[in-house]
A and B are shown apart, each in its own frame.
Chain A
Amino acid sequence: MVDSLNLVFSFLYQFGDAFAFLVLSACGLAVIFGMMGVINLAHGEFIMCGAYVSTRAAHAGLPMPLAVLAGAAAAGIAGMVVEWVVIRRLYERPLDTIVATWGISMIVTQGVLILLGPSMQGVGTPFGSFSVGGYSYSVYRIILMLSAVAVLAALWLMFTRTRFGLLSRATIQVPHVAEALGVNTNLVYSLTFGLGAALAGLAGGLYAPTMTLVPTMGASFMVEAFVTVVVGGADIFLGTAPAAVVLGVIKAALTSWKGQLAGQIGLLIAVIIVIRILPRGISGKILRERA
């Protein structure tokens, strides 16, 4: 009885861990893709920006939560600059944004390597560990799970309960009408892109203590982020969240059964199946049925 409870806990922990990683790495990408239709290949570099800035801030003596927020803010500002300088000129050409953001990604990775060197010392994972039935777990991973849920809740409140949320949804749905009604659509686009980048930076800041800090670190988030967004479709609440649940179960189950390789293969097979039967992702399916 105790043994099976331990097993249940360990599965829930692993599922929660996979879920948190999928949600946090994907939500920035989902906001930018879902709301603006821009496929942002520099997503990983915003994550890296958040990780680097928050680590620097923590080294400088800022408490951990503030350091993470500083990382998110820095990535958000960087995102708004990128939107203003590059993305704004390419809204009518979605395919070109792929190439442009890919270029930005390479410039940033190599630029950081040249300017800041090949790695940065981490701050170490805070909060220690706890044990349940023979296994020991990191407390910080629980914080990551709670953060993922908090991010989803905050985004939901922002998009449904605030004026910015209303204006941005209006702009995304029918931009010309929103503009005719006096919405500053340029500002909305800029803020939305900044929000997406800030969410990426938040993911970077949160995962920075647990990872190796190198200019290419963003790449290790990219597969999970894209898989989640593709499976979820354009809507962050009807898409990203359920997709992360489904993929988290698949990944945790396969990895505990046959190791990391099986987990990775499982994720990719899930995408292939979803693209085949739900080309617009989970949210596309839900929204179509509702309409």
Chain B
Amino acid sequence: MNRNLTNAVSAFALLLSAASPALAQDAKPIKLGVLEDQSGDFALATIGKVHAIELAAEEINAAGGIDGRPLELVEYDTQSDNTRFQEFMRRVLQRDKVDAVFAGFSSASREAYRPIVNQFDGLAFYNNQYEGGVCDGNMIVTGAVPEQQFSTLLPYMMEKYGKNVYTIAADYNFGQISAEWVRKIVEENGGKMVGEEFIPLGVSQFSQTIQNIQAAKPDFVVTLLVGTAQASYYEQAGAANVNLPMASSVNVGQGYEHKRFKAPSLKDMYVTVNYIEELDTPASKEFVKKFHAKFPNEPYINQEASNSYAAVYLYKQLVERAKSTDLAEIRKVIAQGDVCVDGPGGQMCIDPKSQHVSHTIHLAHVKADHSIEFPQKWDGIKPYWLGDAGCDLTKSDPSAQYSPSNPPPKS
């Protein structure tokens, strides 16, 4: 059933691009593979990404396509399943012969498909905030990374609430490496980790975790919870009256927990995002308006939808300046260091050394009634860590993932 559905969706996308009158009939379409979780545990946060890509493609096609060529989407539902990512990544690169792929929500799925992109020397965009450290010439990462999110968030929290920090994190590469970043930045700023717990994906009962947190008496809790099951933490912590401020790089901005849970369970949650739909800027309001015109029932436009939307325009600019979809030509354009677009949340520029993107980082504060205020923002925050640590994709391509405890080898 699922295969028929995805076929139907890609046929629909074809129709969309074919229906665009402005295009020369003989121009060969540029094919964009879209591998996102449209079912399973992550679907809640990722269906909006697919819609954002469809929106950008429609706008681009209506305005004449990319360099006169229509943009055609080839969509598959990866079902929140890492093996599906591998299967469909092979399929889009080998059989569908797409020019670029937009793929992946969880870091586990990205690490599952990345070797296949390397093998076929393809180009994949990962439009998700994540734990950072991927130094790979075949990847462009448009999501925010820890040095952008934590180096802004944690000093703010420690100054406002105190220096004792407790981390609860999803137990896989994302949570483990993000927790390592939290540890590093808390220590650099003179704070103390009073506890750390890793939660297996799919766990939904948190009574004991809540008690462990209360026993450690932190000033605030860093929540790096992933997937819909783990989001039950907020309701249960609220019910047990834990009443501690929370800080996160993933929650609210992806899974819109403040919309799904009854107030005040997310009271005093602070998140650093590069976009969420409450953002009160002209660019954001315009984006929300366009989004709702095409998808009136969209429950929430999250950070990853904004990244995916902007990424299509980044790709358009890359191809038009390179005058080709060839990866080597595209990377020559990236190496010039001035590939920027104005995304819904602010300007985004590709850093040539790491092929990650700079962002305007907004601090979102969830109030007791679950409305959002933005007490602070930081403009032009660069994804500096990889470049500083020694990753330079303009010189060599190790195709590896690094972390503070496992930095690039010094050459």
Contact = CB atoms under 8 A, between A and B. Distances in A.
Contacts of B209: 255, 259-260
Contacts of B400: none
Interface stretch (B17-25, B62-70, B185-193, B236-244): B236-244
Nearest to B43: A118
B232 interface: yes
A173 interface: no
Interface in B208-253: 208-209, 211-212, 214-215, 228-229, 231-232, 235-236, 238-243
Interface stretch (B137-145, B254-262, B280-288): B254-262
Interface in A96-118: 109-110, 113, 117-118
B261 A124 contact: yes
B229 A212 contact: yes
B262 to A, nearest CB: 3
Contact of B207 (A17, A110, A118, A128): A17
B44 A119 contact: yes
Given A135-B214, A135-B215, A259-B198, A118 B240 contact: no
B316 to A, nearest CB: 29
B199 interface: yes
Nearest to A216: B41
B299 A128 contact: no
Nearest to A264: B200
A136 B207 contact: no
Given A124-B261, A259-B197, A264-B200, A129 B208 contact: no
A270 to B, nearest CB: 16
A122 interface: yes
B4 interface: no
A212 B212 contact: no
A219 B299 contact: no
A118 B238 contact: no
A123 B262 CA distance: 6
Nearest to A124: B262
A210 B232 contact: yes
A256 B240 contact: no
Given A113-B39, A216-B41, A263 B208 contact: yes
Contact of B171 (A118, A212, A261): A261
Contact of A14 (B39, B41, B211, B232): B211
B299 A119 contact: yes
Contacts of B214: 134-136
B398 interface: no
B43 A113 contact: yes
Interface string A111-148: 00100011111111100110100111110110000000
A149 interface: no
A45 B47 CA distance: 22
Contact of B203 (A118, A125, A260): A260
B212 A256 contact: yes
A187 interface: no
B216 to A, nearest CB: 11
B205 interface: yes
A120 B259 CA distance: 10
Contacts of B61: none
B241 A110 contact: no
A135 B199 CA distance: 21
Contacts of A256: 208, 211-212
A135 B240 CA distance: 9
Contacts of B215: 134-135
A82 interface: no
Contacts of A167: none
A40 to B, nearest CB: 19
Contacts of A137: 240
Given A212-B235, A212-B260, A256-B212, A141 B200 contact: no
B214 to A, nearest CB: 5
Nearest to A125: B239
> Max chain A CB contacts within 10 Å: which of B2, B207, B231?
B207
Nearest to B297: A117
Given A212-B260, A259-B198, A140 B239 contact: yes
A217 interface: yes
A13 interface: yes
A137 B207 CA distance: 8
B208 A212 contact: no
> Max chain A CB contacts within 10 Å: which of B200, B231, B240, B259?
B240
Interface string A208-251: 01111110110111010000000000000000000000000000
4 smallest CB-CB distances across A and B, nearest first, come from A124-B262, A125-B239, A129-B241, A138-B239
Given A18-B207, A212-B232, 12 more contacts: A110-B1, A118-B43, A124-B238, A125-B236, A129-B240, A212-B260, A212-B261, A214-B228, A216-B40, A217-B229, A220-B203, A256-B211
18 contacts: A13-B207, A14-B208, A17-B205, A109-B39, A118-B47, A122-B235, A122-B260, A122-B261, A125-B239, A129-B240, A136-B214, A211-B232, A212-B229, A219-B202, A220-B204, A221-B204, A259-B199, A260-B171
